[in-house]
Amino acid sequence: MGINNQNITITKSTTTKIKEVDFSNLSFGEIFTDHMFECDYVDGKWTNAQIRPYGPISLDPSAKVFHYGQAIFEGMKAYKSLDNVVWLFRPEENINRLNKSAERLAIPEFPKDLFFDGMETLLNIDKEWIQTSEGSSMYIRPFVIATEPGVSASPAKKYKLMIILSPAQSYYSGEVKVLFADKYSRSANGGVGFAKCAGNYAGQFYPTKLANQAGYQQVVWTDASTHENLEEAGTMNVFFRINDTLITAPTSDRILDGITRKSVIAIAEKEGINVEVRNVSVYEIEEAAKNGSLKEMFGAGTAAVINPIVSFHFKGNDYDLPKLENSFAALFKKKITDIQRGKAEDTFGWRYQVRTL
Ligand SMILES: *Cc1c(COP(=O)(O)O)cnc(C)c1O
């Protein structure tokens, strides 16, 4: 079955930037491919779907996105196998989540079929940009912004969905030391923490900057009311290993329902690892660090897949985590990336083969 893209106007770039790109030396999210997908919401429907050369867009200075932050996004990856086939990992989850975020921000939902048709056409057009080498992938960034001019504080009637592509290498962030939040919060009950909305990031930049200045790369957010339960890292969900049990917080309206998180839980269950999805108290983790039963902490998210944490700071004290030979973090990273790259059997049915034009 081919891609249904008769409704998508395609204007190809007459030049390519690909020769200027050093694929062995990419910083995350700084280089974009030759084309982008774009679709507008006007008069109550999504229309004017097009793929055109990557470049600046023009918006009225009063466009509502600039004033009231109606902006949501997704993050996913495509991989190319040696036989030139392009694969996605659980892409339905991303469009479903985009639409969940949309609902919460009073943004109209985007049709699932058009999302797939647009994204897959774009991936075909910029296929040369997807590298096959170990660790290489194409980071896909779909997003929606309110474009309607006017500074009245109400949901816009016009929006733009775009999909842009950025070639990525395997992500190594260096040693990650984290700080457990005891003052600032990223989300609250009934709020937008579960949505992938731009403002959730803006709100954590300042406390994260303070943490960086104190020598910590990331903040692990706690619940806003008591700061006693560990929730997530703001771009990644967080897992704890106490002895041989894997523990993570349940998702809620304060926590983003990560696809990597879900995948880790499914793999752990299949591997016979004891998984507990429950509240994780800062005191429990502190105590486990003191008595040596805390073996690992790691983040889980699309960009890095699994990001091991080497130490945490809580109320004036730093606690180091042991360096393990056979870590859960390494196991999950291998299991997930092997499925993504087609090196292991996909018993979960997570891979999606991108259709060709
Ligand atoms: C995107 C994101 C994650 C990770 O989700 P994945 O689907 O695994 O990429 C975790 N937390 C927040 C706040 C996020 O925005």
C-beta 75 within 6 A of ligand 1: yes
Task: Clarify whether residues 164 and 184 are in a common domain.
Answer: no
User: Would you say the CB of residue 142 lies under 6 angstroms from ligand 1?
Assistant: no
My answer on whether 200 and 93 are in the same domain is no
Quick one: tokens of 77? 């990856």
Q: Cα(54)–Cα(49) distance, rounded to whole angstroms?
A: 15
Q: Assess contact for 255 and 193: CB atoms under 8 A.
A: yes
Rounded CA gap, 304 and 168, in Å? 10
- 235-247 pLDDT tens trace: 999 999 999 999 9
Q: What is the CATH number of the domain that holds 182?
A: 3.20.10.10
In a domain, 1, yes or no: no
Query: Would you say residue 347 lies in a domain?
Result: no
Beta bridge partners of 138: 78, 167
Length of the chain: 357
235 lines ligand 1 (CB under 6 A): yes
Write the pLDDT tens digit of every residue in 73-109: 999 999 999 999 999 999 999 999 999 999 999 999 9
Domain contains 303: yes
Domain identity same for 163 and 299: no
Does residue 1 register a pLDDT over 70?
no
4, burial (CB in 10 Å: exposed 0-12, middle 13-18, buried 19+): middle
The mean pLDDT of 285-305, rounded to a whole number, is: 97
CA–centroid distance, 251 to ligand 1, in Å, is 12
Asked if the structure places residue 98 within a domain, the reply is: yes
Nearest CA to ligand 1 atom 5: 258
List of residues 6+ apart from 326 with CB closer than 8 A: none
Tell me how far apart the alpha carbons of residues 236 and 301 are, in angstroms, rounded to a whole number.
5
Residues 165 and 305 placed together within one structural domain of the fold? no
258 lines ligand 1 (CB under 6 A): yes
Instruction: Provide the number of structural domains found in the chain.
Output: 2
H helix runs in the chain, sequence order: 64-68, 91-104, 112-125, 198-213, 259-270, 282-291, 328-340
**Amino acid 276: pLDDT:** 98
pLDDT in the model for residue 134: 86
Query: Is residue 17 assigned to a domain?
Result: yes
Within a domain: residue 351? Answer: no
Task: Say yes or no: 181 and 318 in one domain.
Answer: yes
What rounded mean pLDDT belongs to the chain? 96
- Angstrom CA distances, 278 to 248, 265, 309, 327, stand at 6, 13, 20, 21
**DSSP assignment of 244-270, as one string?**
TEEEEPPP-TTS---HHHHHHHHHHHH
Which of the 8 DSSP states describes residue 25?
A: S
Domain that holds residue 254: 176-338
Domain end: 109, 142, 170, which one? 170
| Predicted confidence (pLDDT) at residue 173 exceeds the cutoff of 80 | no
Q: Are residues 47 and 183 in the same domain?
A: no
CB distance 301 to ligand 1 below 6 Å: yes
Do 303 and 324 lie in one domain? The reply is yes
Q: Which of 60, 223, 52 is nearest to 121 (CA)?
A: 52
C-alpha span between 283 and 285 (Å, rounded): 5
Instruction: Say whether both 215 and 294 belong to one domain.
Output: yes
**Which among 125, 153, 170 is the end of a domain?**
170
Claim to verify: residue 334 and residue 219 sit in the same structural domain? yes
pLDDT band, residue 5 (cuts 50/70/90): confident
Are 208 and 320 found together in one domain?
A: yes
Confidence band of 2 (pLDDT split at 50, 70, 90): confident
Between CA 327 and CA 303 the distance in angstroms is 20
> Residues 204, 161: one domain?
no
Above 80 in pLDDT, residue 8? yes
